[in-house]
Amino acid sequence: MGNLSNEFLIPLKVVNARCQHLKLNFKGILNKIEAKAIQNKDENKKINSLVTWDDWIYAALDCYEPNWKKGLKVGDNIPNHLINNLPTPTGELVTIGSWMLTKNIYRFEDEVANELTKSEFEGKLPSFLINIPELCIYVQTDNFDLMFEASKIVGVIFTLSELCYQKVLVSTVFLDTGITRTIVLLISEDKSIEDCLTDFIDVFHDDRAVLDDSQVGDYQSLQKKLINILLWFSLSKPDYIPLLPENHKEKVGVQIVKRTPRLFEAQKYKPFIAGQETSKQIKLLNSQNNEYLKQSTKAHRKPHLRRAHYHLYWYGAKGSYERYDFKWIPITLVGGTIKNLD
């Protein structure tokens, strides 16, 4: 970790603590996941990740309760008590376990972080825009205005997986108290992102308690803000760069070593800085707005800032869209003219 600055290292402590918790309680789980990933590849399974959420559950039970299959027949549901007795919620197994295979770290410039979670959707955005450039992504959010359960959210891991043959987005947030919370979103290709947000899956939320209506509302509100962060990585021209390019030479995923397929835990952190160019635009706009405000007595019409938003531009003949351009439009100065001083 010597190559990382404290800016990256401090929020990373919470994630590393959960990784150690997982390794301690599920000894050998990455070996079992390696076997399942290789099997999925050999069988050419069409899944959204190396392994499914179901694979993580089976691997965890094999490690924690080796005899869990005793008395069960093929096709039987896994008894709830076996799932509930696991020392780590299964959603967190998916996110933390996936991140251990990549160890990427994305950190946004402060100006972008300040605007991103307040962004709006422009029109109905199709759910295919929810995608992840890697196996999973870990975004540090200690410089975001993000709170949950009266605690600051210092990071979030996103990953796409499958649960019972359904595509799901799994998001684990890390609170500054050391506690984690996991939210699951069912991704339906025939629905917009807004409609998917209403299909909140409370059965698989992390603390295994029944949520009341207000709690469901809190989780849905948080999910909307998290989606605003995730959509950055679906932009046609996403603004992020690696800070340690040499670390990215490390391969991720199943690879052939001495003619044998292998899957390894990542050994190097792969930090990115996001929004570097975009932050320059925001600083310029804020500067221009401040200048207008200083000269407000000379202004015919006071300007205002329009909130940042996502917008999807389609190209092609009407009714047969062939391509698209997905953009995040930063805050925009609207209106306002300064009188000529001459």
Instruction: Give yes or no for a contact between 92 and 182, defined as CB atoms under 8 angstroms apart.
Output: yes
Spatial neighbors of 99 by CB under 8 A, at least 6 apart, are 15, 19, 136, 138, 157, 159
pTM across the whole model: 0.89
Those residues of the chain that have pLDDT short of 50 are: 202-205, 207, 338-342
Can you give the pLDDT at residue 267? Answer: 93
CA–CA gap between residue 300 and residue 337 (Å, rounded):
6
Can you give the pLDDT at residue 342? Answer: 36
Can you give the pLDDT at residue 21? Answer: 96
The letter for the amino acid at 71 is G
CA–CA gap between residue 309 and residue 208 (Å, rounded):
35
Tokens of 105: 């770290």
SS3 content of the chain, % helix, strand, coil (to 5): 40, 25, 35
CA–CA gap between residue 66 and residue 59 (Å, rounded):
10
User: At which residue do the structure tokens 């006071």 appear?
Assistant: 302
For residue 336, give Cα distances in angstroms to 290, 292, 299, 304, 332: 12, 8, 7, 8, 12
Report pLDDT digits (tens) over 117-174.
888 776 678 888 888 989 999 999 999 999 999 999 999 999 999 988 888 999 999 9
CA–CA gap between residue 338 and residue 100 (Å, rounded):
55
Can you give the pLDDT at residue 341? Answer: 35
CB atoms within 10 A of CB 4: 15
